[in-house]
């Protein structure tokens, strides 16, 4: 019976199971893959760019020139006036020339990198300024068209004085018809008298 049970257990085992009874470990989809090993070291371009800008900004100051001049003078005086056993760079100062060449070889790429970053910022600022200018021009043209349309519309609008005078003329005409069809000349004289009696302050207020 025991061998039969062992055979049944072996049949129930999955095909991908190992001898230890565990399945091979597969990467999970809900977890990011661990970073692999790279031969080339990684660095942050933004951090390196900011550092290069700081160095280039320091190289372009008078403080750097003063300090470099002091170091060179001390170097030369020490290797000329110091005892021979304490000198580390005899004439013609080959080590000093090497150090200055090394400093120049590193300073030039750093300055170029800082200039490239500044050019990129200037390009972005110019693009933003151009887009803003386009929006301002479009808004100005729209407001100009709106103001022109308002002026045209106001030129066709009837004023209160004109409407009041027309209403008064109509009222006088109706009164004249109700009173027995007065002559047209009397009607015109009445309208002229009423307009003359109206105070000028009222017209100014209406305007």
**pLDDT tens column, 47-73:** 878 888 888 888 888 899 999 999 999
Q: Exposure of 74 by Cβ count < 10 A (0-12 exposed, 13-18 middle, 19+ buried)?
A: exposed
| Per-residue pLDDT, 202 | 46
Average pLDDT, the chain: 76
What SS3 class is residue 69?
helix
The residues, any chain, with a CB within 8 Å of residue 168's CB and separated by 6 or more, are 191, 194
Would you say 52 and 115 are in contact if contact means Cβ atoms under 8 Å apart?
A: no
Helix/strand/coil percentages in the chain, nearest 5: 75, 0, 25
pTM of the complete model beyond 0.85:
no
């Amino acid at each position: 019976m025991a061998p039969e049970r062992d055979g049944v257990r072996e049949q129930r085992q999955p095909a991908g199971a190992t001898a230890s009874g565990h399945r091979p470990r597969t990467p999970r989809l809900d977890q990011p893959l661990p970073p692999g090993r790279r031969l080339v070291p990684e660095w942050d371009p933004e951090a390196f760019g900011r550092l290069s800008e700081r160095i280039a900004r320091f190289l372009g100051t008078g403080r750097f020139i003063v300090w470099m001049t002091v170091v060179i003078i001390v170097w030369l005086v020490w290797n000329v006036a110091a005892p021979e056993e304490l000198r580390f760079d005899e004439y013609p100062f080959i080590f000093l020339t090497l150090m200055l060449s090394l400093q120049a070889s590193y300073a030039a790429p750093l300055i170029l990198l800082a200039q490239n970053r500044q050019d990129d910022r200037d390009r972005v600022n110019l693009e933003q300024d151009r887009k803003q200018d386009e929006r301002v021009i479009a808004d100005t043209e729209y407001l100009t068209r709106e103001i022109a349309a308002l002026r045209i519309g106001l030129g066709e609008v009837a004023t209160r004085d004109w409407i009041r005078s027309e209403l008064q003329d109509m009222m006088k005409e109706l009164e004249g018809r109700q009173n027995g069809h007065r002559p047209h000349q009397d009607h015109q004289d009445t309208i002229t008298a009423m307009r003359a009696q109206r105070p000028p302050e009222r017209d100014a207020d209406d305007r």
